[in-house]
Each structure stands twice: as structure tokens, then as C-alpha cells.
């Protein structure tokens, strides 16, 4: 199963990386750790930008209200805006500039109707939760780990709620991006490449 292999690889990669640079100076090691964390923070910020754009559209169009999700739209939009703010701070702290939000292509999703838009929202939140889980144990800075965890479980909450409201049931079993609960008691991570591929549905980016 690719996702489990990815988790094992992620879990073992970090200590080996540290061992490989054991002969270098502390400053250089810190720079390497910051660079690795910066890549992760930028990546997750990109995911958050797409989510924030999605919920901004959902708020302004009001589409999801007719699918039974009207009560959560405002809160989820606010949550994603706050996630963007915190990740932007982390990117700056780690020495990065302010990345430009990725382009999004959401018109077709909302034009397909309330039910389809809700299903897309539910999948996007599952994707985000899996994206965080794929990165958390690669992070070196303990404070960044704590920040990502605090966001990650909120993404899980939002995913479960939306999948439930969408009537998808607990674990669908056909796709990691569908269902309120994972197929089993452990959430599955996704690696960066798989997340970027799945995000194309929302950004319109080509392979």
C-alpha cells in the first residue's frame, strides 16, 4: 500500500539525514534543517491558499447552504484564513519570502451545483488532512511540529463534518479522499507529489 510505505519512508528519512551530516558544523546543520522545514511550510501554505480560496468562493456564492453546509461555511472560511496567516509567519521566520498564492479554477466546481461543490469541499479537506500528516514527522523544529498538529486536527474535523453532511458515510473505501473516517483507525498520509496531483482539480494546473 503506497501510503503506508510513504509513512514508513517519512519516519525513517529524517534521522538518516541527520546522521549523514554529522561531521558538519552546527550552523550548517541548522541551516539545512531550516531549509527542509521551509520547503514543508511553503508546501502546506500552498494547500492552505487553495482551501482559503475555495471557502472564500463558498462564502460569496452561498452555494453550499442548499446542500446543508450553510452553518459551517463561515467558520471553515475563517479557520483557513487563520491557517494561511500562521503559515505565512512560519515561512518568513524560516527565511522565505511571501509566496504568491497559486491560481485556482473553482468556477466549474461551483457551477456543477451544491451537491457537487459539497463533495469537492469534503475531498479537499480530506486532501489537506492527508497532506499535513505526510509532512509532520519530517519537520525538525518542534514548535513548527506543534503548529502543524494544531492545524492538522482541525483539517481532520472539517473533513469528517463535510463528508458526513455530504452523506458519504464513515469510510467509503474506494478513495482516500472520500469518507468521514479512514478505512481503519489510523489516518493515512499523502506525499507531496500525490497532493499536488490531487490539487489540480482545484487549481486547474496541468501535469
The residues of the shown chain that bind another protein, judged by CB under 8 A, are 4, 7-8, 10-12, 14-16, 19, 71-72, 75-76, 78-79, 82-83, 86, 129, 132-133, 136-137, 142-143, 145-147, 149-161, 164-165, 170, 180-182, 184-189
**Least distance (Å) between residue 156 CB and another protein:** 4
The grid coordinates listed for 106 are 473553482
Q: DSSP label at 21?
A: T
Shortest spacing between CB 108 and another protein, in angstroms: 27
Phi-psi region of 200 (alpha: psi -120 to 50; beta: other; left: phi over 0): alpha
Q: State the Cα–Cα distance between residues 12 and 8, nearest whole angstrom.
A: 6
Minimum separation from the CB atom of position 114 to another protein (A): 18
Radius of gyration of the chain (CA): 18
Q: Which is nearer to another protein, 18 or 112 (CB)?
A: 18
Nearest CB to another protein, comparing residues 82 and 178: 82
Polymer length of the chain: 207
Between 82 and 205, name the residue whose CB sits nearer to another protein: 82
CA separation for the pair 111, 108 (Å, rounded): 5
Task: Locate 181 and state its grid cell.
Answer: 473516517
In the complex, the smallest distance separating the C-beta of residue 18 from another protein, rounded to whole angstroms, is: 8
Nearer to another protein, 105 or 167 (CB): 167
Locate 123 and state its grid cell: 475531498
Amino acid at each position: 500500500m503506497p501510503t503506508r510505505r510513504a509513512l514508513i519512508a517519512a519516519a525513517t528519512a529524517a534521522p538518516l539525514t541527520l546522521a549523514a551530516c554529522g561531521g558538519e558544523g552546527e550552523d550548517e546543520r541548522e541551516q539545512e534543517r531550516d531549509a527542509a522545514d521551509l520547503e514543508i511550510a511553503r508546501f502546506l501554505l500552498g494547500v492552505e491558499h487553495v482551501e482559503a480560496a475555495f471557502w472564500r468562493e463558498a462564502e460569496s456564492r452561498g452555494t453550499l447552504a442548499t446542500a446543508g453546509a450553510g452553518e459551517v461555511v463561515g467558520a471553515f472560511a475563517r479557520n483557513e484564513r487563520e491557517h494561511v496567516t500562521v503559515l505565512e509567519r512560519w515561512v518568513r521566520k524560516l527565511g522565505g519570502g511571501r509566496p504568491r498564492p497559486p491560481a485556482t479554477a473553482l468556477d466549474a466546481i461551483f457551477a456543477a451545483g451544491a451537491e457537487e461543490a459539497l463533495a469537492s469541499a469534503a475531498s479537499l479537506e480530506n486532501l489537506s488532512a492527508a497532506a499535513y500528516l505526510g509532512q509532520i514527522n519530517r519537520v525538525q523544529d518542534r514548535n513548527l511540529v506543534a503548529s502543524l498538529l494544531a492545524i492538522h486536527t482541525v483539517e481532520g474535523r472539517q473533513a469528517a463534518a463535510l463528508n458526513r453532511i455530504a452523506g458519504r458515510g464513515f469510510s467509503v473505501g474506494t478513495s482516500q479522499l472520500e469518507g468521514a473516517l479512514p478505512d481503519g483507525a489510523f489516518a493515512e498520509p499523502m506525499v507531496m507529489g500525490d497532493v499536488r496531483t490531487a490539487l489540480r482539480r482545484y487549481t486547474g494546473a496541468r501535469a
